[in-house]
């Protein structure tokens, strides 16, 4: 017999953003959902990035659980970040 | 790019796939131990190079937008039974089932189920997150076929999935959470009786006399997993599982409502009387509460003491009901028609019951501090933070009370909310051929179509 695949079609509609050539001079957001010590981990990463790339601007964004909300996404777009590290998916 | 935990890799891939990206985002993951209280989280900074790679050198394996349609699959066996067995073995290998036998979704079977709608089979209902699988009427019919359902169940399944995919229910969260959650679908309107959906004894199943709820609920579970990506341990991190193979799909006992009590979909969800509708919440627990006395009490004392007893079950330090604090319900309370009418005869209204439960389920601030709940309440923006004792929900009218269950006075049933911010609903639309579908179901299953 022939049967349907139950998993549903999927579609890729958006390409990933282009990677940066360097972090020097870039504005990088560290977006935290406040879970699983994301604030602490991203704060340490921010310090390490800053040591290594002194001309970059690093901003900790404490979005808490509304990390995927329209307000947060619009704010990130408005602030002109070159890249964002999101955490913690745990 | 993403900072995450090793066990969450598929959850992360599902999440990005659900928003239309390819499922291979740049990520740096660590074992969960790193993120536990008082562990050394400094290793994250030591791995800074991997983050830099993710921001500069990483490349997606898929560089162009694309759509993935699904071919039919051939299943072979020496005879019908062997083919059926091979189909089920394939479902296990492909992680499509729930571990119990499934009905093969052949073209004939799916077309039969699709008699339950006048919509085109490629009509899009939405995307089931977090994986973002596209749900069409055909997808619903496939799931319902596999679950052992019938065409007259399809309109209700359609409405339930519409309510689940409603952005207000935020299903992408509870689909992947480490909490053990299951959708609860409360049905109102005359259709419930026509498809013999249970409102009485055994309404949460299992019950061979009322198969509708089980197959609709099981179809929802298959959609959650196969289309939405909620596979235990990789797509969903539910620590103890989703609990119910068939979720919870049942009807309110509208015939048993006391005089003056509105159906749940009217009073709580705002539908017009007589409308067929579903109301969906997400639960993570189920408590049977023995509410009656031993027989030597007065009726008045039994009524109030039973409400106090119910309130003690509601009075829990449930951080997962906090998202619902302002606009949702802390849970769904089921009371039988016997209990509802007893209370009504003593002068209780649904509103006075809600108010009594609201007051008697308050929790002292000191207890909330000792259990660490206060930090959660701030994190999840609960209301009335300055009140002591603190109410488990922002307003008494938030408490969802549904009249359902066997016509006995002995128990009430409490299903506490998990994560869902507020209940969502959808109207159930009947296809033009509805009377014929109902008659056919009644004939084949051996019951009177009038119920």
Can you spell out the DSSP letters for B206-271? Answer: --TT-HHHHHHHHHHHHIIIIIT---BTTTB--TT--S-TT-EEEE--GGGPPTTPPPHHHHTT-P
- Find the closest chain A residue to B142 by CA distance: A6
Closest-CA distance, B401 to chain A, in angstroms, reads 29
Check if A52 contacts B (Cβ < 8 Å): yes
- B335 with B405: CB under 8 angstroms? yes
Closest-CA distance, B40 to chain A, in angstroms, reads 10
Predicted pLDDT of residue B427 = 98
Is the bond preceding B151 in cis, omega lying within 30 degrees of 0?
A: no
Contacts of B177 in chain A (CB under 8 A): none
Structure token pair of residue B52: 């830099």
- A34 with B159: CB under 8 angstroms? no
Surface of B (314-373) touching A: CB under 8 A: 323
Predicted pLDDT of residue A67 = 75
Check if B62 contacts A (Cβ < 8 Å): yes
- B249 with B197: CB under 8 angstroms? yes
Closest-CA distance, A63 to chain B, in angstroms, reads 10
In a domain, A52, yes or no: yes
DSSP-based three-state secondary structure for B446: coil
Q: What is chain B's pLDDT, residue by residue, as a tens digit (451 residues)?
A: 999 999 888 888 888 888 889 888 999 999 999 889 888 899 999 999 999 999 999 998 766 666 778 899 999 999 999 999 999 999 999 999 899 999 999 999 999 999 999 999 999 999 999 999 999 999 999 999 999 999 999 999 999 999 999 999 999 999 989 999 999 999 999 999 999 999 999 999 999 999 999 999 999 999 999 999 999 888 888 999 988 899 999 999 999 999 999 999 999 999 999 999 999 999 998 999 999 888 888 989 999 999 999 999 999 999 999 999 999 999 999 999 999 999 999 999 999 999 999 999 999 999 999 999 999 999 899 999 999 999 999 999 999 999 999 999 999 999 999 999 999 999 999 999 999 999 999 999 988 655 4
What Rg, from alpha-carbon coordinates, does chain A have?
17
Mean pLDDT computed over every residue of chain A: 90
Residue-wise pLDDT tens digits, A39-90? 899 999 999 999 999 999 999 887 766 677 788 888 888 999 999 999 998 7
**Which residue range is the domain that position A36 belongs to?**
27-87
Predicted pLDDT of residue A65 = 65
- B397 with B354: CB under 8 angstroms? yes
Residue with tokens 């290594």: A52
Check if A11 contacts B (Cβ < 8 Å): yes
* Rounded alpha-carbon distances, angstroms, from residue B388 to B312, B359, B360, B362, B383: 17, 11, 13, 8, 12
Pairing assessment for the beta strands B27-30 and B2-5 based on DSSP bridges: parallel
Is A8 a residue whose pLDDT tops 90? Answer: yes
The runs of H, that is alpha helices, within B251-331 are 264-267, 299-314
Structure token pair of residue B127: 């995307």
Which residues are CB-neighbours of A68 under 8 A, at least 6 positions away? Answer: B172
Closest-CA distance, B393 to chain A, in angstroms, reads 19
Which residues are CB-neighbours of B170 under 8 A, at least 6 positions away? Answer: B419, B420, B421
- B115 with B151: CB under 8 angstroms? yes
> Do the Cβ atoms of A89 and B72 come within 8 Å?
no
* Rounded alpha-carbon distances, angstroms, from residue A83 to A17, A56, B19, B46, B240: 9, 11, 18, 20, 36
Check if A47 contacts B (Cβ < 8 Å): yes
- B130 with B176: CB under 8 angstroms? yes
A49 by Cβ neighbours in 10 Å (0-12 / 13-18 / 19+) ranks as buried
Predicted pLDDT of residue B242 = 83
Residue with tokens 């900074």: B45
In a domain, A73, yes or no: yes
- In total, the C-beta contacts within 8 angstroms joining chain A to chain B are 181
Contacts of A25 in chain B (CB under 8 A): none
**Which of A2, A16, A45 has its CB closest to that of B48?**
A45
**Residue B305 DSSP symbol:** H
Residue-by-residue DSSP string for B1-70: -EEEEGGGHHHHHHHHHHTTS-S---EEEE-GGGGSTTS-TTHHHHTHHHHHHHHHT---S--S-EEE--
Check if A43 contacts B (Cβ < 8 Å): no
Contacts of B64 in chain A (CB under 8 A): 12, 15
B291 vs B343: CA distance, rounded Å: 12
Beta bridge partners of A84: A29
**Which of B2, B68, B96 has its CB closest to that of A9?**
B68
Closest-CA distance, A74 to chain B, in angstroms, reads 16
Contacts of A38 in chain B (CB under 8 A): 3
B385 vs B392: CA distance, rounded Å: 10
Contacts of A10 in chain B (CB under 8 A): 17, 67-68, 131-134
Number of domains in chain A: 1
Predicted pLDDT of residue A62 = 75
The gap between the terminal CA atoms of chain A, to the nearest Å, is 42
Contacts of the segment B57-60: beta carbons below 8 A, 24+ positions apart: B57/A19, B58/A19, B58/B1, B58/B26, B59/A19, B60/A15, B60/A16, B60/B22, B60/B24, B60/B25
- Find the closest chain B residue to A28 by CA distance: B55
Contacts of B148 in chain A (CB under 8 A): none
> Do the Cβ atoms of A12 and B110 come within 8 Å?
no
Check if B104 contacts A (Cβ < 8 Å): yes
Check if A31 contacts B (Cβ < 8 Å): no
**Residue B386 DSSP symbol:** T
Closest CA to B408 of B346, B335, B350, B343: B335
B3 vs A5: CA distance, rounded Å: 33
Instruction: Enumerate helices (H) and strands (E) in chain B, giving the number of each.
Output: 17, 14
- Find the closest chain A residue to B219 by CA distance: A6
Reported in sequence order, the residue ranges of B297-358 that DSSP labels E, i.e. its strands, are 331-335
Check if B103 contacts A (Cβ < 8 Å): no
* Rounded alpha-carbon distances, angstroms, from residue B384 to B3, B191, B364, B392, B431: 34, 40, 13, 9, 46
ipTM: 0.93
Pairing assessment for the beta strands B182-188 and B248-251 based on DSSP bridges: parallel
Structure token pair of residue B96: 């499509």
In a domain, A37, yes or no: yes
Beta bridge partners of A29: A59, A84
Read off φ and ψ for residue B284, nearest 5 degrees: -135, 15
A62 vs B288: CA distance, rounded Å: 40
Check if B78 contacts A (Cβ < 8 Å): no
Contacts of A64 in chain B (CB under 8 A): 379
Surface of B (160-199) touching A: CB under 8 A: 172
- Find the closest chain A residue to B97 by CA distance: A6
- Find the closest chain B residue to A53 by CA distance: B52
């Amino acid at each position: 017999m022939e049967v349907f695949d139950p998993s549903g079609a999927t579609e890729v509609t958006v390409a990933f953003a282009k990677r940066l050539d360097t972090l020097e001079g870039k504005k990088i957001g560290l977006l935290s959902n406040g879970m699983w010590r994301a604030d602490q981990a991203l704060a340490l990463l921010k310090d390490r990035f800053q040591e290594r790339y002194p001309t970059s601007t690093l901003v900790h964004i404490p979005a808490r659980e509304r990390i995927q909300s329209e307000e947060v996404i619009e704010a990130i777009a408005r602030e002109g970040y070159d890249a964002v590290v999101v955490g913690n998916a745990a | 790019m993403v900072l995450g935990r090793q066990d969450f890799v598929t959850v992360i891939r599902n999440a990005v796939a659900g928003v239309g990206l390819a499922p291979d985002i740049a990520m740096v993951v660590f074992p969960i131990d790193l993120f536990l209280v008082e562990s050394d989280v400094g290793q994250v900074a030591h791995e800074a190079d991997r983050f830099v790679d993710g921001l500069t050198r990483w490349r997606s394996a898929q560089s162009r937008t694309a759509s993935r349609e699904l071919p039919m699959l051939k299943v072979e066996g020496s005879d019908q039974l062997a083919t059926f067995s091979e189909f089920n073995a394939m479902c296990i290998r492909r992680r499509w089932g729930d571990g119990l036998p499934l009905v093969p979704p052949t073209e004939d079977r799916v077309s039969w189920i699709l008699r339950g709608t006048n919509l085109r089979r490629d009509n899009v209902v939405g995307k089931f997150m977090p994986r973002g699988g596209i749900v069409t009427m055909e997808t619903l019919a496939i799931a319902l076929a596999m679950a052992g359902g019938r065409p007259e169940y399809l309109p209700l399944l359609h409405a339930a999935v519409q309510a689940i995919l409603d952005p207000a229910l935020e299903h992408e969260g509870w689909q992947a959470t480490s909490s053990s959650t299951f959708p609860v679908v409360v049905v109102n309107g005359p259709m419930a009786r026509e498809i013999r959906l249970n409102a009485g004894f055994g309404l949460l199943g299992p019950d061979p006399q009322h198969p509708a709820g089980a197959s609709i609920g099981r179809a929802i579970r298959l959609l959650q997993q196969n289309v939405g990506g909620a596979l235990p341990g990789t797509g969903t991190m539910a620590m103890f599982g989703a609990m119910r193979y068939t979720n919870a799909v049942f009807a309110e006992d509208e015939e048993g409502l006391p005089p003056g009590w509105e159906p749940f979909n009217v009073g709580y969800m705002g539908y017009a009387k007589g409308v067929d509708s579903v109301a969906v919440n997400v639960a993570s627990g189920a408590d049977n509460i023995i509410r009656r006395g031993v027989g030597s009490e007065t009726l008045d004392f039994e009524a109030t003491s039973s409400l106090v007893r119910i309130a003690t079950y509601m009075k829990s330090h449930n951080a997962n009901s906090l998202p619902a604090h302002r606009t949702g319900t802390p849970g769904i309370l089921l009371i039988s028609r016997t209990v509802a009418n007893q209370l009504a005869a003593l002068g209780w209204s649904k509103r006075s019951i809600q108010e009594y439960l609201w007051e008697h389920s308050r929790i002292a601030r000191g207890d909330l501090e000792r259990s660490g709940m206060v930090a959660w309440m701030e994190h999840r923006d609960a209301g009335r933070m300055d009140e002591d004792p603190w109410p488990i929900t922002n307003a008494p009218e938030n408490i969802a009370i549904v009249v359902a269950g066997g016509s006995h006075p002995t128990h009430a049933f409490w299903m506490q909310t998990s994560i869902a911010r507020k209940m969502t609903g959808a109207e159930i639309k009947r296809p033009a051929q509805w009377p014929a579908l109902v008659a056919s179901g009644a004939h084949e299953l051996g019951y009177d179509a009038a119920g």
